[in-house]
């Protein structure tokens, strides 16, 4: 009886873990970067994530310098269950002199960072 109870408990835990992972991580699948001014840029980023409502959705993307400094964050204010993939933009991102490459990464409300990222070479 004890083994059956442990097996049932293990199955339940695995089931909950599987359910939480169904939507997976948020992936950046395309990025366009355009220089707006001397050191400011506009990024248009396409994200794919199987949003499942308010409990599990892609909730932001970020532009990150090679040293890990976050240069810009686009907060996504709601799930995009019926719009996949989706593209959102962020302007006014200040890119310091000497930085000619950034990484764009997405974040979701369950897994955090960790999906596909895109490295972008900036053409000044």
Mean pLDDT, to the nearest integer, of 63-92?
92
pLDDT digits (tens, 9 = 90+) for 15-33: 433 344 456 899 999 999 9
pLDDT bracket for residue 77 (50, 70, 90): confident
Architecture per CATH, 24-121: Sandwich (2.60)
pLDDT at position 1 is 46
pLDDT digits (tens, 9 = 90+) for 37-73: 889 999 999 999 987 889 888 889 999 999 999 999 9
Domain coordinates in residue numbering, the chain:
24-121
Those residues whose C-beta lies under 8 Å from the C-beta of residue 90, and which sit 6 or more positions away, are: 42, 43, 45, 63, 72, 73, 74
């Amino acid at each position: 009886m004890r083994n059956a109870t442990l097996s049932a408990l293990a199955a339940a835990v695995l089931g909950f873990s599987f359910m939480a992972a169904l939507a997976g991580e948020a992936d950046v699948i395309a990025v366009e970067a355009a220089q707006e001014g001397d050191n400011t840029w506009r990024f248009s980023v396409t994200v794919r994530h199987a949003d499942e409502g308010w409990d599990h959705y892609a909730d932001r993307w970020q532009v990150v310098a090679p040293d890990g400094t976050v240069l810009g964050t686009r907060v996504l204010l709601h799930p995009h269950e019926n719009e996949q993939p989706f593209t959102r933009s962020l302007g006014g991102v200040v890119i310091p002199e000497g930085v000619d490459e950034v990484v764009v990464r997405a974040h979701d409300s369950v897994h955090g960072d960790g999906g596909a990222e895109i490295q972008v070479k900036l053409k000044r």
